[in-house]
Amino acid sequence: MTQPLPIKFQELLQLTNVGINVGSVSFNTLTMESDKFICVREKIAESAQVVIIDMNDPTNPIRRPISADSAIMNPASKVIALKGKAGNDNNPNAPKTLQIFNIEMKSKMKAHPMTDDVVFWKWISPNTLALVTETSVYHWSMEGDSTPEKMFDRHSTLNGCQIINYRTDPKQTWLLLIGISAVSNRVVGAMQLYSVERKCSQPIEGEIFGVAANAPKGILRTPQTIVKFQQVPTPAGQTSPLLQYFGILLDHGKLNKHESLELCRPVLAQPHNLSSLILSCFSQVIQSFAETGQFQKIVLYAKKVGYSPDYVFLLRNVMRVNPDQGVGFAQMLVQDDEPLADINQVIYSSKSFTIRFGVKNPMGSTIHIATKYHEQLTTKALIDLFESFKSYEGLFYFLGSIVNYSQDQEVHFKYIQAACKTGQIKEVERICRESNCYNAERVKNFLKEAKLTDQLPLIIVCDRFDFVHDLVLYLYRNNLQKYIEIYVQKVNPSRLPVVVGGLLDVDCSEDIIKNLILVVRGQFSTDELVEEVEKRNRLKLLLPWLESRVHEACTEPATHNALAKIYIDSNNNPERFLNPIWKVDHLSKTPFYVLRCNEPGVWSQLAKAQLQKGLVKESIDSFIKADDPSAYMDVVETSHATESWEDLVRYLQMARKKARESYIESELIYAYARTNRLADLEEFISGPNHADIQKIGDRCFDDKMYEPAKILYNNVSNFARLAITLVHLKEYQGAVDSARKANSTRTWKEVCFACVDSEEFRLAQMCGLHIVVHADELEDLINYYQDRGYFEELINLLEAALGLERAHMGMFTELAILYSKYKPAKMKEHLELFWSRVNIPKVLRAAEQAHLWSELVFLYDKYEEYDNAVIAMMTHPSEAWRESHFKDIITKVANIELYYRAIQFYLDYKPLLLNDMLLVLTPRMDHTRSVSFFSKTNNLQLVKPYLRSVQCLNNKAINEALNQLLIDEEDYQGLRTSIDAFDNFDTIALAQKLEKHELTEFRRIAAYLYKGNNRWKQSVELCKKDRLFKDAMEYAAESKNTELAEELLQWFLERRNFDCFTACLYQCYDLLRPDVIMELAWRNNIMEFAMPYLINVTREYTSKVDKLEDAESRRAEETAESQHSSMIMPEPQLMLTAGPGMMGPGYSPVPGVPAYPPTYAPGMPYQTGYGM
């Protein structure tokens, strides 16, 4: 019985059944990256192609004409990676190109040239492609625009190896490169394991014996496998293949029964002393010492034999069995300079044990150990350990021992956390007050979330690190107002202004705020308190407190200032604070006391009073004497109203010396422009200034002061506005140059339109070339030209723009429309050159409106509206019809009815070309309908060439029409040929029609047609009537009708035509009865004419009798032999065990092998039974 396969085998596809050449099924040309796709590279003749077989639809392979050295499919999607050479394939130094294509999107995703040959590549994930060169390994991601990333260099052990695989773990942190090579007539495996995190490699030997070791269910680990390894010769100086095999098996686990026995045989067969072998079992010896309690001997034995056991594991076992001896054993481990066991590991394990199992009273020891060794064990690890067991008390004491010396923010934060969780609030207060090594934001958030019973730690942190506003919001929203009072009374009273501001932000009651201010006296800044309250428009809140301060004889300016603000705002006797300087009604002349005083402040007050009365010149003079520019905004506003520009220039020149304000300098520039002092203006703006020149230029432009605006726009390089300004100044060339620098569509339009209005068409065209490239602006430009009648200039502009790099469809379309309106002669040439770049529907309407029928047909053709094109050509034949063009288009129409309109059109206008046109229409035309059409119009003779060309379709209407034409032309040979070649017509009707024809040949064809319809008697009678003796004899013979043949013989005898009688005997030989023939010959005394027939019949019957006698004699002999053999035949076998000879005649047990010939004589019975 056949041994079952270790895998489930199922054939899914035969590649040859889907058209794959057998020669293309190899490792070099076929790749299968997953169970979804198979990729095959084929070369048929000189053309190369790639075949992709989707296993979900294997019967429909995808074929693409791709020439590549290698192709692999993505394991998850229809993405293919291709590798090939760029440029000349014969150049070995040509760069190697890698490409990734998306087959579904039909697009190239990525490409990269490689300087080194890629010897192996593979998809390691749906998004990553691994590339292996002779020296390095790369990863290439499909995502983004990244190039292949080098992962590591190949190890020297893989030099010269054939790379067969490359694997990664799911996170791609471990990479494995696998190769094989031939060494001494055997295959040697080599692997390189690389760690991405550590950036280091490790070479590993790969052995082929691993195949047997990993075979499922041990199917290859049999005695036969051992025998095969024993038969392999061992090279000199090398290990036996069998021992290598056993070594691999031991690496994977235990040996089975056969392998263990075979391994012991060569060892027991050697006459060596086994004591050294026994002594080399170090681990078993040490285990024996441990089991017998001889722990002291373990270290001595290990040192003696040079073995390093797992001392920590042994120490655990000793401590579990005998703790007292374990102490001594541990001391032995650490008594040397280099301890045999890792102390840190022991301490960590001990601490973990005590914490895990809640051992009582080990906390002091644990904390002591953690404190002593926290530098070696790292503070972070110890914190994580305490937290993993939720031992916050231990964590508190441990961190408390080191927090005062540590600068680590994490230590301080964790200490605060542990103190809060253990209720050590005072310690939290202390560390928050004294420590500078914690993250204040983080601690503040923790304390807010902890919701301690005492909020003093949070108050300390917020006070130290200026989180007072957040503190007030938190305390107020959590109904902890008493802590706000504690904070401003005991912790930091100077923070009262900020606290009050925060309380106002949360809409706290005014009574609470007033009481809070009253209990904190004199220990904060009044200015800050007033500022905080004033910012929130709640200054009147302080009125009671301020008045109490005044009653207490407080002389602080801030108090009185705040109180004055409140009184003034509330109009409560503000005169106490607002004392006017003077009241003067006539200020046109300078008062005497002002001249006498001659103080700047007095002059300023006088100037303001004069300015209020509208005395601009006098006011400005006073301001200049006071050297006071403070009221410059009022002065400028009043000067604008009175248009006192010269006086304003004087004032602003003085003000600019005192204050370099942008507003002052801007207004000075505007005043220069107003006074037309352009030289001063240019000098001013050429120097350093803070003026808003752009804004002043716009003001000048709006006020139609174009010369100053030109200077200002030029200074700030605002070429867009400068161009418009130059247009207003009629400087068109300069406007075009400025527009070029501005490069703004709006600017180009304004300059262009201005040039058009001034009929500067050359400059307008220069501007227009920058406008027409913008499709949205094209219509406005065209309308502007057309509205003013500049058609020729517009056409010249668009013609010049066609050669621009940014030329678009709108330009070609509009030019075509303009040609149709104004230059129809040039439209055809334009369309032939640029039909693909115009908006055809739009141009179609223009051509139709302009009655340009030829151009209309051309556009319909290019737009694939063939029906309309044909209709247009037939409607306007004199201008639009061209024979070759018409025949080309008519075949593409969708409406078949146009075929018959075209036929009528040709009958009316081009009847001599009708047949050529019909030949073109043949594939789609209803020929029956066309024949009917020509019959009604009596034009069948005209289309005879067409009928002959389509008769091959064997259409009934065509056949009958053509046959009628041949009859009318008396072409009996053509008719006979037509009848023989094409039989789809009414033969009886044609025969009846030809039967009455006056020509014998046509009546002969009628007899031929009757014969074809099995009307033998009519056919023969017609032949007899026309004395067509040969045809009559042939038709009678073909009829197989004895009576018809005998009637024909009788007819010949009646007419004494004995020669035809004799000929008919041989023509109808098989149909005639000899006795009838003999009787007819005897009666008509023509035995000599019938004698040849009679002699032949006699010989035929004699031969038949002889054959029957011979057959009867052979049958009798065979019967006798069969009866004799049946008497001596043994019991027949059953059919299940019978040999091939007993399976019946012709049975073959093997498909494709000829059957055995029957072994019985003819007529002999044979056994029947079940077949296989």
B/e letters for 1003-1037, b = 16+ CB within 10 Å, e = fewer, are bbbbbbbbbeeebbbbbbbbbbebebbebbbbbbb
Q: How far apart are CA 239 and CA 248, in angstroms?
A: 13
Strand order across the beta sheet in which 70-73 lies? 70-73, 79-85, 96-102, 107-114
Q: Which positions ≥6 away from 793 have C-beta within 8 Å?
A: 756, 761, 764, 765, 785
The pair of structure tokens assigned to 220 is 């290859």
CB 485 within 8 A of CB 519: yes
With H, G, I as helix, E, B as strand and everything else as coil, classify residue 64.
Answer: strand
Residue length of the chain: 1172
Average pLDDT over residues 530-539: 83
With H, G, I as helix, E, B as strand and everything else as coil, classify residue 1080.
Answer: helix
CB 222 within 8 A of CB 215: no
Give the chain's mean pLDDT.
Answer: 79
Burial of 299 (0-12, 13-18, 19+ CB in 10 A): buried
Residue 891 has pLDDT above 70, yes or no: yes
**pLDDT band at 1141; cut points 50, 70, 90:** very low
**pLDDT band at 597; cut points 50, 70, 90:** low
- Where helices occur in 16-157 by DSSP H, the ranges are none
Residues 232-273 have pLDDT tens digits of 777 665 667 777 777 777 766 677 777 777 777 766 665 544
CB 51 within 8 A of CB 13: no
The pair of structure tokens assigned to 943 is 């289309």
Question: Residue 206's pLDDT is what?
Answer: 58
Q: How far apart are CA 1116 and CA 439, in angstroms?
A: 126
CB 130 within 8 A of CB 74: no
CB 162 within 8 A of CB 181: yes
The pair of structure tokens assigned to 301 is 């034995």
Residues 987-1002 have pLDDT tens digits of 787 777 777 778 777 7
Question: Residue 150's pLDDT is what?
Answer: 92
Residues 940-987 have pLDDT tens digits of 888 888 888 888 888 888 888 888 888 877 788 878 888 877 887 777
The pair of structure tokens assigned to 555 is 């002389």
CB 51 within 8 A of CB 20: yes
With H, G, I as helix, E, B as strand and everything else as coil, classify residue 492.
Answer: coil
With H, G, I as helix, E, B as strand and everything else as coil, classify residue 468.
Answer: helix
Q: Is 1122 left (phi over 0), alpha (psi -120 to 50) or beta?
A: alpha
CB 1036 within 8 A of CB 1060: no
The pair of structure tokens assigned to 955 is 């259409």
Residues 498-517 have pLDDT tens digits of 888 888 888 888 888 888 88
Q: How far apart are CA 807 and CA 805, in angstroms?
A: 6
| Range with lowest mean pLDDT among 534-538, 757-761, 823-827, 1150-1154 | 1150-1154
Strand order across the beta sheet in which 186-195 lies? 162-168, 174-183, 186-195, 200-206
Q: How far apart are CA 872 and CA 163, in angstroms?
A: 70
The pair of structure tokens assigned to 457 is 């730690």
Q: Which positions ≥6 away from 357 have C-beta within 8 Å?
A: none
The pair of structure tokens assigned to 326 is 């374990």
The pair of structure tokens assigned to 958 is 């065509």
The pair of structure tokens assigned to 210 is 């691993």
Q: Which DSSP string do the residues of 706-755 spell out, in sequence order?
A: HHHHHHHHHHTT-HHHHHHHHHHTT-HHHHHHHHHHH--HHHHHHHHHHH
Question: Residue 219's pLDDT is what?
Answer: 65
Residue 1024 has pLDDT above 90, yes or no: no
Amino acid at site 761: F
Question: Residue 148's pLDDT is what?
Answer: 92
Q: Which H or E element spans position 141?
A: strand 136-141
The pair of structure tokens assigned to 772 is 């027409």
Question: Residue 175's pLDDT is what?
Answer: 93
Across the strands, what pairs with 739? Answer: none
Q: How far apart are CA 735 and CA 722, in angstroms?
A: 7
Q: Which DSSP string do the residues of 583-645 spell out, in sequence order?
A: --S--SS--HHHHHH--HHHHHHHHHHHHHTT-HHHHHHHHHHHT--TTHHHHHHHHHHHT-H
Residue 1085 has pLDDT above 90, yes or no: no
Percent of the chain past pLDDT 70, that is, above it, reads 84
Phi and psi at residue 1054, in whole multiples of 5°? -65, -30
CB 369 within 8 A of CB 347: yes
Amino acid at site 209: F
Residue 915 Cα to chain centre, angstroms: 55
Burial of 152 (0-12, 13-18, 19+ CB in 10 A): middle
Higher pLDDT among residues 813 and 1170, named by residue: 813
Quickly tell me which residue has 């035309």 as its tokens: 925
Question: Residue 966's pLDDT is what?
Answer: 81
Question: Residue 154's pLDDT is what?
Answer: 92
Residue 1106 has pLDDT above 60, yes or no: yes
The pair of structure tokens assigned to 154 is 């190949």
Give the chain's largest Cα–Cα span.
187
Q: How far apart are CA 457 and CA 489, in angstroms?
A: 16
Q: Which DSSP string do the residues of 295-340 spell out, in sequence order?
A: THHHHHHHHHHT----HHHHHHHHHHH-HHHHHHHHHHHHSSSS-S
Residues 98-120 have pLDDT tens digits of 999 888 877 888 888 988 889 99
3-state DSSP percent of the chain in helix, strand and coil, to 5: 60, 10, 30
Question: Residue 659's pLDDT is what?
Answer: 78
Residue 131 has pLDDT above 90, yes or no: yes
E-state strands within 994-1088: none
Which of 528, 490, 533, 531 has its CA nearest to residue 514? 533
Residues 439-496 have pLDDT tens digits of 889 888 888 888 888 888 988 889 888 888 888 888 888 888 888 888 888 888 888 8
Give the relative orientation of helices 927-936 and 897-909 as an angle to the nearest 10 degrees. Answer: 40
Residue 336 has pLDDT above 70, yes or no: no
Average pLDDT over residues 308-335: 69
Residues 775-786 have pLDDT tens digits of 888 888 889 888
CB 785 within 8 A of CB 793: yes
Amino acid at site 905: F
Domains, the chain, ordered by start: 12-151 (2.130.10.110), 277-332 (no CATH), 493-578 (no CATH), 808-856 (no CATH), 1013-1106 (1.25.40)
Give the relative orientation of helices 897-909 and 883-890 as an angle to the nearest 10 degrees. Answer: 160
CB 688 within 8 A of CB 697: no
**pLDDT band at 703; cut points 50, 70, 90:** confident
Residue 129 has pLDDT above 90, yes or no: yes
Question: Residue 936's pLDDT is what?
Answer: 87
**pLDDT band at 434; cut points 50, 70, 90:** confident
Give the relative orientation of helices 914-921 and 897-909 as an angle to the nearest 10 degrees. Answer: 170
Q: Which positions ≥6 away from 320 have C-beta within 8 Å?
A: none
Residues 252-263 have pLDDT tens digits of 667 777 777 777
Q: Which positions ≥6 away from 946 have C-beta within 8 Å?
A: 914, 915, 918, 919, 922
E-state strands within 377-487: none
The pair of structure tokens assigned to 217 is 């269910």
Question: Residue 993's pLDDT is what?
Answer: 78
Q: Which positions ≥6 away from 806 have C-beta within 8 Å?
A: 773
Phi and psi at residue 960, in whole multiples of 5°? -65, -40
**pLDDT band at 1164; cut points 50, 70, 90:** very low
Q: Which H or E element spans position 564?
A: helix 557-569
Across the strands, what pairs with 202? Answer: 193
